Amino acid sequence: MELLGIIGPQELILVLIVAFGLFLLPLLAIIDIVRSRFEGNMQLIWVIIVVCFNLIGAILYFIMGRNQKINY
């Protein structure tokens, strides 16, 4: 069965997985940023980066930003 005559169930599942990943990764990054402590305005800067650059910002945060947290 094709949805609207364009895509089948395999394509629909793939689109849903990609959309879920594009939504979930930035959401997890924002939650981690808000629950953590940073020096100065780094918390605000990381939130702006993740909100403006969604997937790229979240990936950058998980690679670079997690090392900037204050351990208390």
- Rounded distance between C-alpha atoms, residue 61 and residue 31, angstroms: 12
* Of 3 and 35, more confident: 35
pLDDT digits (tens, 9 = 90+) for 34-72: 999 999 999 999 999 999 998 899 999 999 998 888 876
- Rounded distance between C-alpha atoms, residue 21 and residue 68, angstroms: 25
pLDDT digits (tens, 9 = 90+) for 23-32: 999 999 999 9
6 to each of 1, 3, 15, 22, 45, how far by Cα in Å?
10, 6, 13, 23, 41
Q: What is the pTM of this model?
A: 0.76
